[in-house]
Amino acid sequence: MHGPMVRRGFYEWYRAGFPRDPETGRPPAEYFRRGQDDWLQVTWDEVADIIAKAYIDIATTYSGDEGRRRLERQGHYHPAMLDAMNGAGTQVLKFRGSMPFLAVTRYTSPYRMANMMALLDSHIRGTDADTALGGRGWDNYAFHTDLAPGHPMVTGQQNTDFDLCLWEYSKLIVLWGMNPFTTKMPDSHWLTEARIKGSHVVLISNDYSPTARAADEVFIVRTATDTALALSLAYVIMKEKLYQKDYVVSFTDMPLLVRMDNRQLLRARDIVPDHRPLELRKAEVFDPGAKLPPFFKQDRQYIPRALREQDIDDYVVWDSHANAPKIISRDHVGVDFQMLGIEPALEGRFEVETVDGRKVEVRPLFDVYLEFFEQNYRPELAEKITGLPAAQIERLARLIAAHPRQTKLTQGMGVNQYQHADLKDRAMYLVCALTDNVGHLSGNIGSYAGNFRLPLFNGAGQYLAENPFDIETDPARPARVRFYWRGESAHFYSHDDHPLVVGEHVLTGKTHMPTPTKAIWFVDANSALGNAKWKYNIIMNTLPKIEMIVTNEWWWSLTCEYSDIVLGVDAWNENKYWDIAGSVTNPFVYVWPKTGHRRFFDTRNDTETFALVATRLSELTGDPRFREYWRFVIEGRPEVYTQRVIDASSNLRGYRLEEIAEKAQRGVPSLIMTRSYPKYVGMDQTLEHRPWYTKSGRLEFYREEPEFVDAGENLPVHREAVDSTHRAPNVIVARPHALHAPKRPEDYGVDPEEALRNTELRQARNVFVPPEELERTRHPLVESFGATHIVHTPKYRHAAHTTTGDTDITVLLFGPFGDIYRHDRRKPFVSEAYIDVNPKDLEELGIADGDYVWVDADPQDRPFVGFEDRPDDYRVARMLIRARASNNTPPGVAKIWFNMYGSSHGTVRGTQVNANGLARNPATNYQSLYRSGSHQSVTRSWLKPTLLTDTLVRKNLMGQALGKGFAIDVHGAIGAPREAMGRIVKVEDGGDGGRGLWRPVALGLRPSRPAPQLQRYVRAGYVKTE
């Protein structure tokens, strides 16, 4: 990146004064030829003027009643989205940084900018500090589908995990959908060393991954059926009474009584007239408007009074000694429950009399779970679902049960990035709870993806939410924090900017409701556009509704290709200011160094780009507070903000930035000061007997909230993948239980068969299929489209998320198709993307190892809606890729690595006009590893109703306070990027120029067609011993 760049059409719209349609407010389409336009380099002063004036124009256009009418006339946005704006045009301004834990001030700057937009709202609508609204800030962890969504359902908090050096403390390590040899390479040595020291390693996966070589046992399960396997393991442990009873009764919901009449957990108020909730000692109940202590002083949980008295109340167990119900509070966990002297029944049916005089049957949840699992997930039934032999399921269950407090269940994204990830978490947590493998140094559960845990630096609000109406200009004093920006899931934007609505029923909770997206500012991230799920639908259908896209980058990505303004920022080696970062797999706080390297081009630090625009807003509005909000950045001292974050963070307080930076320069690490070292989640609960952050204070596997009942998921169940299955997608694989009462398609005014075929309706299609009948069902695409393969897209080594996807030396490592000389000019680059397919499948499809193939998914919406009428755009979006024969991949499953740069309009044009045939945009030099399309050609955005609830009680992202409903990166949509059912069709021979076999195959150098010399090499036949 050489500096600030502006797309020509956008520049002309700015110079013309931002003309719009007088009725709808839409800009003229001729200014918005994104991806096909020229670029202009401008000065930093001019680009600040462009962005500032565009923000004023867009926010003004959509403010107030007239702004709402304009949006209504555009004909796309649901009324609930417009209601959520509350009249503020600033609510259509969206901001998203890169993973904030990786550079706390640099990457949270866009959220600070979103907070500052409250000043713009004040300027436009005349609002004050109590009524102004800022912009919207988009999620990261959840948008990447890295959030394990069932963790907050079970525990009430964002995630549980542990430093990976703790592997070696456990006698049994279960890697479930995790492939650390590819995705956690710096940490993998802890795994191999643990095995050397005697740990038994089990790998559960849908393919034979590189990590399999380090495992003692490998279990290959049918894709996205891990929930059924976990429920079957739980059944065996429960049925054979292998569970740890003390933990089960003291820390889980299993002894709690559930009412069989209304599917709600029995509360004390149900059976005790005028019951007042018991006084809590382990939490403080607070009234509306109460001021809570700063996070670093919060030594207990904080519960809003309405939540305590209405949602929580007190719970009831059945005391076997007294043969009567007994009331317990959420304080009564661990030793405090044991001291009550209650012997809670785990099995049985009982009757209670309610305060209105009715006799109601109640049962312990353990009893309900056991009955339901026996009906549906016994090992012989789970075998029909998962493909794993029943005897192996039983053996694995007994193995885990034989290692209480000594098993580490380590979840990876291989099981998380499907539609029903929350169900797999509830099931896997159940296995760990039954065996007392939660919250111990040597026994725990953890989910792993990117570095997400900003709450470890919970003073971040000092920067990303300083009150713009009350700015602290003394560098030695803390800021006053007030949130004017609101969190929003970017999954709605990638869902063509609308919520989940089925028929006339809005299945998106009010706390999750998005607003229309009219401006976006991305910072150092390619994942929300260039590598987003359903990317080509975003490019072709969603972006035309968006009026400004600004991207900060130091490496031209596909996001830059489709932006309006690209701001060249400092690369890592050009960094000028200290910043802090952390990791979820080790206990250290890192300091970004001041490298001392000169800037190669006219770039700025990310914080400086926002300060420039804020300064121009001050000039345009006459309000100096825009500029004052970034004072220390403008003065070249952004570290003032970083030190404020440190001072306000529970785990960093006491550090001086300059001191830990100097130590880091000498290679001396600084610890994140958590209560345990190495750090692991759950110690407070398991060892110190504190409640979890749930309604009951216990690990909760039953969900009584109405959205879960409507979905048929109040009990832990297995559902088929919403797309990645050869069987009927999204069905609940079970016989319904008496506690089930799901909304069926007819309840939403939808035909059940249409809901099966239609992907949008399918997301809320709740239909039961018994396990024995599942095999007889079929995905509708199998017959109507000829779909043959589940297509999933895991990450690969040699690339950091989506960066360096076009560096030639790195690209050569991506697979067997590297050729620095490009003998075959069809190749998009010196290497290229490929799809792994089982050799037997390729043979049946008439495809040779190395051939080019089309990979197509559901034609109703992929690669984008309406592609049939847009042939030029379809040529860009349809995936053309090499096929690689791979025995690692089971029949019926295909794999494409996630990291490789996808096609743009410019790269496809490049294959036609570049003399060397490179898939490189001649206007921008952006380089694709596909001739056309990308792995995102087969994906789409998926929304799951149980992730969009207003009723789930959970801890807020930071601090110790409980809340309800949406919380950014805690409870919200996560998408499902590995959900795709595809058809693979041969296009061309793999040999040079499209003639004959790919050369390595012809030479006998591939496993699919090995020459005698290769076979001898594999047998080590060329090695001589003397």
User: Which domains can be identified in the chain, with CATH numbers?
Assistant: 5-144+467-668 (3.40.50.740), 150-242+388-447 (3.40.228.10), 246-368 (no CATH), 789-942+978-1018 (2.40.40.20)
Decide: 618 and 626 in contact? Cβ < 8 Å: yes
State whether residue 618 is helix, strand or coil: helix
For 516-525, give one letter per residue: b (16+ CB within 10 A) or e. Answer: bbbbbbbbbb
**Which contacts of 676-680 are long-range, i.e. CB under 8 A and separated by 24 or more positions?**
676/441, 677/587, 678/162, 678/163, 678/165, 678/166, 678/586, 678/587, 679/162, 679/163, 679/587, 680/161, 680/162, 680/163, 680/166, 680/439, 680/441, 680/444, 680/446
Q: What pLDDT shows up at residue 800?
A: 60
Tokens of 26: 């839409």
Q: What pLDDT shows up at residue 806?
A: 77
Rounded Cα distance, 156 and 885, in Å: 44
Q: What pLDDT shows up at residue 796?
A: 80
Rounded Cα distance, 920 and 924, in Å: 8
Max distance between CA atoms of the chain, in angstroms, equals 91
Q: What pLDDT shows up at residue 872?
A: 98
State whether residue 136 is helix, strand or coil: strand
Q: What pLDDT shows up at residue 802?
A: 53
Tokens of 973: 């949509």
Alpha helices in 137-244, H assignment, sequence order: 150-155, 180-183, 188-196, 226-239
Contacts of residue 798, defined as CB under 8 A and 6 or more positions apart, other chains included, come to: 810, 813, 814, 899
The reply to whether the predicted model has a pTM over 0.75 is yes
As a dihedral over the C-alpha atoms of residue 742, residue 748, residue 752, residue 758, rounded to 10 degrees, the angle is -120
Q: What pLDDT shows up at residue 273?
A: 97
Q: What pLDDT shows up at residue 1026?
A: 84
Q: What pLDDT shows up at residue 184?
A: 87
The HSE-up count of residue 994 (CA atoms within 13 Å, CB side) is 7
Rounded Cα distance, 988 and 853, in Å: 7
Rounded Cα distance, 900 and 881, in Å: 12
Q: What pLDDT shows up at residue 1?
A: 84
Read off the amino acid at residue 528: A
Q: For 591-605, write each residue's pLDDT tens digit.
A: 999 998 999 999 999
For 89-128, give one letter per residue: b (16+ CB within 10 A) or e. Answer: bbbbbbbbbbbbbbbbbbbbbbbbbbbbbbbbbbbbbebe
Q: For 197-209, write each residue's pLDDT tens digit.
A: 999 999 999 999 9
Decide: 282 and 298 in contact? Cβ < 8 Å: no
Nearest by Cα to 256 from 755, 700, 766: 700
Nearest by Cα to 975 from 1006, 935, 948: 948
Tokens of 969: 């990166």
Decide: 618 and 119 in contact? Cβ < 8 Å: no
Rounded Cα distance, 875 and 49, in Å: 37
Residues forming beta bridges with residue 597, ordered by sequence position: none
Residues of the chain short of pLDDT 70, as ranges, are 798-805
Q: What pLDDT shows up at residue 795?
A: 83
DSSP 891-956: TTEEEE-S-S----HHHHHHHHHSTT--SB-TTT--B-SSSB--GGGS------GGGS-S--EEE-
Q: For 507-552, write each residue's pLDDT tens digit.
A: 999 999 999 999 999 999 999 999 999 999 999 999 999 999 999 9
Q: What pLDDT shows up at residue 799?
A: 67
Alpha helices in 174-299, H assignment, sequence order: 180-183, 188-196, 226-239, 245-251, 268-271
